[in-house]
A and B are shown apart, each in its own frame.
Chain A
Amino acid sequence: AQKVTQAQTEISVVEKEDVTLDCVYETRDTTYYLFWYKQPPSGELVFLIRRNSFDEQNEISGRYSWNFQKSTSSFNFTITASQVVDSAVYFCALSEADGGTSYGKLTFGQGTILTVHP
């Protein structure tokens, strides 16, 4: 069964610090997709990124970057020069895609609460 673990329950940083949110996943599928979502205090879930299991290239989008390593089953998310507006709950999620019963069903980690202090 697929599983996503976000070991960091809460992280607190001061503005301009870099912060890395960890995500470790478990799956038996060879094809799968990994996601990060942001849930700001307003409550909606905002899609940030999707990666497939065959693409281990790191990705950078502005201050955000993602490091995908199949060897360690990790998909970590780094925010560079954090800002107060980055304060939110961040969820990592996994979707298996080999065609089994869990195909296409997003399984979420428990989330990491990030607080950025001014």
Chain B
Amino acid sequence: DAGVIQSPRHEVTEMGQEVTLRCKPISGHDYLFWYRQTMMRGLELLIYFNNNVPIDDSGMPEDRFSAKMPNASFSTLKIQPSEPRDSAVYFCASSRDRVDGYTFGSGTRLTVV
């Protein structure tokens, strides 16, 4: 089992550019979560999916953020246009059910300059 795979590991982009973060969950895990980690706000849940369907996106900060899960093995988190305050580490996690322990990916460190 390769675990949850995120790409890229690091992303540096200029303000105003579109950024796409990618995630491959563990096979057989029905839940996928996107979290953001910053020094100021800690770990925040952005959105989660169950069986590829978005269930709760109340944590998505604004319309510039969007997430999709076109199939059970792939999800994207897109920021368009990006702003410096979006700089953070973005984690994807998956689990078999909602209250199981999540398995997190290694994260994507996003820097918007």
The interface size bin for chain B is 20 to 34
Question: Using an 8 Å CB-CB cutoff, how does the interface string of A47-60 with B read, 1 for contact, 0 for none?
Answer: 10110100000000
- Contact residues, A74-111 vs B (CB, 8 A): 91, 95, 97, 101, 103-111
Bits for B31-48, please: 1 = Cβ < 8 Å to A, else 0.
101000000001101001
Q: A97-B99, A105-B56 are in contact. Are A43 and B107 (CB under 8 A)?
A: yes
Q: Closest residue of chain B to A42, judged by CB?
A: B106
Closest to B103 in A: A47
Q: Does B100 contact A (CB under 8 A)?
A: yes
| Least distance between B111 CB and chain A CB atoms (Å) | 14
CB atoms of B43 and A50 under 8 A apart: no
Q: When the two chains form their complex, are residues A104 and B107 in contact, meaning their CB atoms are under 8 A apart?
A: no
Give the chain B neighbours of A42 by CB distance below 8 A: 106
CB distance from B67 to the nearest CB of A (A): 15
Nearest CB in chain B to that of A43: its residue: B107
Interface size on A, residues (CB 8 A): 25
Distance from B109 Cβ to chain A, minimum over Cβ atoms (Å):
8
Chain B residues within 8 Å of A111, by CB = 42
Whole-angstrom distance between the Cβ of A97 and the nearest chain B Cβ: 5
Q: Which residues of A contact B (CB under 8 A)?
A: 33, 35, 37, 42-47, 49-50, 52, 91, 95, 97, 101, 103-111
| B residues neighboring A (CB under 8 Å) | 31, 33, 42-43, 45, 48, 56, 89, 91, 93, 97-107, 109
